[in-house]
Amino acid sequence: MKYLPLLLAACWAATAQAESPGDMLAAYRADAARQTPGFQPSAQRGGAFFAHRFNVSEKMPACVACHTDSPSQAGRHAVTGKSIQPLAPATNAERFTDPAKVEKWFRRNCKEVVGRECLAGEKADFVAFVMGGR
C-alpha cells in the first residue's frame, strides 16, 4: 500500500505528457517557423503532400497507397496487408496525441514513401490536413 501513491503519480505523469493534435500542430509550426520565419501550416499543402506520388517505392508510391484518399477512412498497408486505423483525429481520437509515436511513424513512413525524413513544415502541413484544415 505504501507504493500506491507512487504508482498513481506515475500514471498521472504519463497521462499529463499526452498531447492533442493541436499541440502537435503547434510544435511542428514552431519548428518550421524557426527554419522559415513566418511559416504558417497549410491544409491544402498537406493534402497535396498526402496525395503526391514520390515513387521511391513501387508498392508505396504515395501516402494514399496505404491510407486511402481520405484520412477519415481506415487503410491497409500495401506490403503487409495489415489494417491501418484512420489518420484523422476526428475519427480516431488517438491520432497525434503521443509525440514519440508520431515521430516514429513520420520517420518510418517518410523514409519509405518520400525517400527522406520529412521537414517540420511538411509535418505541420500534414497534421493541418488530417485535422480537417485547422
Give the DSSP letter of residue 111. Answer: I
Is residue 1 assigned to a domain? Answer: no
Is residue 8 assigned to a domain? Answer: no
Helix (H), strand (E) counts: the chain: 6, 2
Alpha-carbon torsion (10, 94, 21, 99), positive or negative: positive
Is residue 89 assigned to a domain? Answer: yes
Q: What are φ and ψ of residue 11, in 5° steps? A: -65, -40
Q: Is 64 helix (H, G, I), strand (E, B) or coil?
A: helix
Is residue 88 assigned to a domain? Answer: yes
Is residue 5 assigned to a domain? Answer: no
| Tens-digit pLDDT profile for residues 46-55 | 999 999 999 9
The cell numbers describing 78, all together, are 500495401
| Tens-digit pLDDT profile for residues 102-132 | 999 999 999 999 999 999 999 999 999 999 9
In terms of residue numbers, what domain contains 121?
18-130
Amino acid at 76: R
What CATH number should be reported for the domain holding residue 32?
1.10.760.10
Predicted local confidence at residue 134, as pLDDT: 52
The cell numbers describing 107, all together, are 520517420
Number of domains comprising the chain: 1
| Tens-digit pLDDT profile for residues 68-103 | 999 999 999 999 999 999 999 999 999 999 999 999
Is residue 96 assigned to a domain? Answer: yes
Mean pLDDT of 35-53: 97
